[in-house]
Amino acid sequence: MKRETLLIIRVFFFIQKESSWNFPFETYRSTTDREAESMERDQAQKRKEMLISLMEEDTYVPMRRRELAVLLSVPSEERRVFHEILDELVSEGQVEVSKRGKYSRARHRQVVGQFMATSRGFGFVAVDGMEEDIFIPEHAVGVAMHGDTVAVRLEQGRRGKRPEGVIEKVLIHAVHQVVGTYDASKKFGFVIPDNAKYGRDLFIPKEYDLGAVSGHKVVAEITDYGSEDKNPEGRIVEIIGHVNDPGVDIISIVRAYGLPDEFSDEVLRAAARTPEQLAPEDYSGRKDLRDLQTVTIDGEDAKDLDDAITISRSENGFVLGVHIADVSHYVRENSPLDREARKRGTSVYLVDRVIPMLPHRLSNGICSLNAGCDRLALSCMMEIDDKGIVTGHEICESVIRVDERMSYTSVRKILQDHDASECARYEKLVPMFQDMEQLAAILQKKRRKRGFVDFDFPETKIVLDEKGHPVSVAPYERNVATKIIEDFMLAANETVAEEFFWREVPFVYRTHETPDAEKMARLEVLISNFGYYIKNTKESIHPKELQKLLEKIEDTPEEALISRLVLRSMKRACYTTECTGHFGLATKYYCHFTSPIRRYPDLQIHRIIKECIHGQMSERRSVHYERILSEVAAHSSATERRADEAERETLKLKKVEYMQDRIGQIYDGIISGMTNWGMYVELPNTVEGLIRVQSMEDDYYFFDEEHFELVGESSKKIYKLGQPVIVQVKECDYVQRIVEFALYDRGEEADHGKDDQCKADCKQ
């Protein structure tokens, strides 16, 4: 009997005892969109289970998708869905496909996850639902690249070690373009990726080099991902410039992260239609707050001023007004401006430029709360008592007029330095700033009481010359003015989030999960090197314990280091549609309401707030928001991560460039990190460098993971986190963005005073 006939008989009996592929779509006509989506999900799951059950039959013979479709009587209009479900089963590791395109139940335990490569060749695969990432040795990586979604065959790992695996197939390629340096030869060339995690150079045939020469920074499109014994292949699509040209290094990072740095003509035309001044009809229905004494407080170079403050005394405390630019009045849902803002997700702040979420005509114009101009706002007016409790509030559409554009420096001079000339210049506003300082102190005290984790380590400020070369690298610390604005923005964000949680309408929250117990246990080991401890439980930790630790280390030499260790031990905050609380802020309710010019979630919830204010949140609109907000939250979280990573890369790049001019110089530092291959040392100017184990020639050092120490095998000399050391700048690696140090013996002949520049930078 022919093979096809046998298959038909076998599958016929299978279909008789299983549910049919067909699903009664006509029932959708009497359902809501939400019910229909739920029914589709259930249907897809049943079809997956049916296919798996078929493939687990003893009589099943592997078949191609066309054979399966015919034998299961899948209608032609359902073939696309059928193919998608088969692809999902493969991507989930439940079904495998042979080289001849035949489907069968996966023979080995397979899992699917995202591959995270390292510059050292090996990598890890993160799988949803697995506590630990899967270790992938260098020989088992195959053709996978950093970020790819891969199918992994689990191997028997060593006892007590993390699970290991072999990448069997790349399911989704994450990398489609590579940014790197072109290296030309007569008949072909290679692009050496800037990102060392990509591992292999990209082969470029001569006819696809776009005229690039050696030393050009280029963007190359991958046309063939290659094999284990063949490099990936591509073609150059953009020549950024020569590696030594000013600005090329930063543009290369912009391209590498896929940051959209130009607006399309359609978006610019839409922006050009935005008015430069308010029209008479814009004032209608809004609360007129122009008579309130109002200021903005921002950095000296800020141009997109989207928040303003009013404050006054009341019988029981204060009335605080946080006024946010009403960007949603000009950026309408599904307009070209809205679609572009949603795609970008956030403005990106790089070391030498800002890539805005919205065109400058809006962000620096009608949507910027410029002094002396009438502006539309969404205001949160809060009555706050002398214990920091918000006893009443109103969220309304308003019209405001800012009296003065203040800088953090000016307010600091008034409140902290008591500068006579600055106080005289802003004499009418001084009482207002004093009220702000008092209320901020009350709010801070309240947050500390509940366990607010306040990280106060300095960020990095890099000053560039006209050619983009760093001339200064120094810590940039928060002052009294920056803390005041932070406190007031937190108050508004919490107030708005709590109100809309109890309204039970679709919303986007900012959430932060409780840290993993394992990471907290590791943190406990690390801080014990400094003589500190935290009260930890196996189940969870309360934020108050971390707050107590940060208070203990305040104004100590190890403050910045331990603060970073605590931060690294915590999970990353993200956007969600569920209000699950914010661990770091020790609050049940939190959202981002205060920056719609530069964050898309803020802009999105402004629309929701305004529809609620006007009584327009109907069932239809509620369903609409429920449908789109999960994707908005996920995409905004992803674009935020991308922006943060790009910002860190530009800072690392400029730090390496800065230290390149200081090869051989001597610096004091403290040990800030430990690994199997060495230890990291941080300088007072925030530059961090690596001392490799093999460069420590006085002994062979090994990494004691239990105590987190480097220990000399013969000398028994121990290096611990936070330990002061003297280092000499050895070399700088532009590709891997690494500064390499060598330990320096104070007794050697060299000028230890050469770190004066570092000290001078830190004083700026």
Q: Look-up: residue for tokens 């840290």?
A: 515
Average pLDDT over residues 572-580: 95
Asked, for residue 292, whether it belongs to a domain, the answer is yes
CB 435 within 8 A of CB 318: yes
Average pLDDT over residues 180-200: 92
Element (H, E) at 624: helix 619-660
Average pLDDT over residues 545-554: 87
Average pLDDT over residues 567-571: 87
Of 269, 299, 284, nearest in space to 329 by CA = 284
Domain final residue pick, 57, 78, 105: 105
Domain final residue pick, 53, 74, 105: 105
pLDDT value of residue 51: 85
Q: Look-up: residue for tokens 């088969």?
A: 86
Strands 287-288, 390-401: pairing is: parallel
What is the identity of the amino acid at 341? A
pLDDT value of residue 566: 87
pLDDT value of residue 117: 92
Asked, for residue 564, whether it belongs to a domain, the answer is no
Residue 165 and residue 182 in one domain: no
pLDDT value of residue 270: 96
Residue 746 and residue 680 in one domain: yes
In this predicted structure, the answer to whether residue 28 has a pLDDT above a threshold of 70 is no
pLDDT value of residue 25: 38
Q: In terms of residue numbers, what domain contains 209?
A: 177-245
In this predicted structure, the answer to whether residue 496 has a pLDDT above a threshold of 80 is yes
Q: Look-up: residue for tokens 């490569």?
A: 117
Q: What is the DSSP letter of 621?
A: H
Asked, for residue 755, whether it belongs to a domain, the answer is yes
Look at residue 278 and give its three-state secondary structure.
coil
Average pLDDT over residues 145-168: 80
Percent of the chain with pLDDT over 70: 90
pLDDT value of residue 129: 72
Residue 593 and residue 496 in one domain: yes
Residue 678's CB: how many other CB atoms inside 10 A?
A: 22
In this predicted structure, the answer to whether residue 427 has a pLDDT above a threshold of 80 is yes
Residue 691 and residue 668 in one domain: yes
* CATH code of residue 239: 2.40.50.700
* Count: domains in the chain: 5
Average pLDDT over residues 680-685: 93
Asked, for residue 465, whether it belongs to a domain, the answer is yes
Residue 311's CB: how many other CB atoms inside 10 A?
A: 26
Going by pLDDT thresholds of 50, 70 and 90, the confidence category of residue 277 is very high
Residue 377 and residue 461 in one domain: yes
| pTM: predicted TM-score of the whole model, two decimal places | 0.81
In this predicted structure, the answer to whether residue 756 has a pLDDT above a threshold of 70 is no
Cα end-to-end distance, the chain, whole Å: 88
CB 47 within 8 A of CB 22: no
pLDDT value of residue 21: 58
Q: Which residues make Cβ contacts (< 8 Å) with residue 620, sequence separation at least 6?
A: none
Asked, for residue 554, whether it belongs to a domain, the answer is no
Q: What are phi and psi of 456, to 5 degrees?
A: -125, 35
Asked, for residue 259, whether it belongs to a domain, the answer is no
Asked, for residue 80, whether it belongs to a domain, the answer is yes
CB 92 within 8 A of CB 86: no
Residue 38 and residue 99 in one domain: yes
Q: Which residues make Cβ contacts (< 8 Å) with residue 522, sequence separation at least 6?
A: 569
Look at residue 115 and give its three-state secondary structure.
strand
The DSSP annotation for 29-97 comes to GGS-HHHHHHHHHHHHHHHHHHHHHHHTSTT---EEHHHHHHHTT--GGGHHHHHHHHHHHHHTTSEEE
Element (H, E) at 688: strand 688-692
Beta bridge partner(s), residue 170: 150
Question: Which tokens belong to 300?
Answer: 């000296």
In this predicted structure, the answer to whether residue 279 has a pLDDT above a threshold of 50 is yes
Question: Which tokens belong to 173?
Answer: 């390629």
In this predicted structure, the answer to whether residue 425 has a pLDDT above a threshold of 60 is yes
Residue 452 and residue 488 in one domain: yes
Average pLDDT over residues 398-415: 96
Average pLDDT over residues 22-43: 55
- Separation CA 735–CA 405 (nearest Å): 42
Q: What are phi and psi of 728, to 5 degrees?
A: -120, 135
CB 369 within 8 A of CB 306: yes
Q: Look-up: residue for tokens 């401006």?
A: 337
The DSSP annotation for 247-262 comes to THHHHHHHHHTT---S
* CATH code of residue 741: 2.40.50.140
Residue 424 and residue 338 in one domain: yes
Tens-digit pLDDT profile for residues 619-673? 999 999 999 999 999 999 999 999 999 999 999 999 999 999 999 999 999 998 8
Q: What are 64-70's contacts with CB under 8 Å, separation 24+? A: 64/100, 64/101, 64/102, 64/103, 65/101, 65/103, 67/7, 68/103
Residue 67 and residue 145 in one domain: no
Residue 258's CB: how many other CB atoms inside 10 A?
A: 12
- Separation CA 672–CA 587 (nearest Å): 31
Residue 396 and residue 284 in one domain: yes
pLDDT value of residue 761: 53
Domain final residue pick, 618, 649, 680: 649
In this predicted structure, the answer to whether residue 290 has a pLDDT above a threshold of 70 is yes
Residue 272 and residue 349 in one domain: yes
Residue 358 and residue 274 in one domain: yes
What is the identity of the amino acid at 671? I
* CATH code of residue 97: 1.10.10
- Separation CA 619–CA 641 (nearest Å): 33
CB 439 within 8 A of CB 311: yes
Q: Which residues make Cβ contacts (< 8 Å) with residue 568, sequence separation at least 6?
A: none
Asked, for residue 121, whether it belongs to a domain, the answer is yes
Average pLDDT over residues 270-293: 95
Going by pLDDT thresholds of 50, 70 and 90, the confidence category of residue 155 is confident
Average pLDDT over residues 381-386: 97
Tens-digit pLDDT profile for residues 453-479? 887 677 899 999 998 999 999 988 788
In the chain, what are the helix, strand and coil shares in percent, each to the nearest 5? 35, 25, 35
Q: What angle do CA 431, 434, 439 make, to 5 degrees?
A: 125
Tens-digit pLDDT profile for residues 34-51? 566 667 777 778 888 888
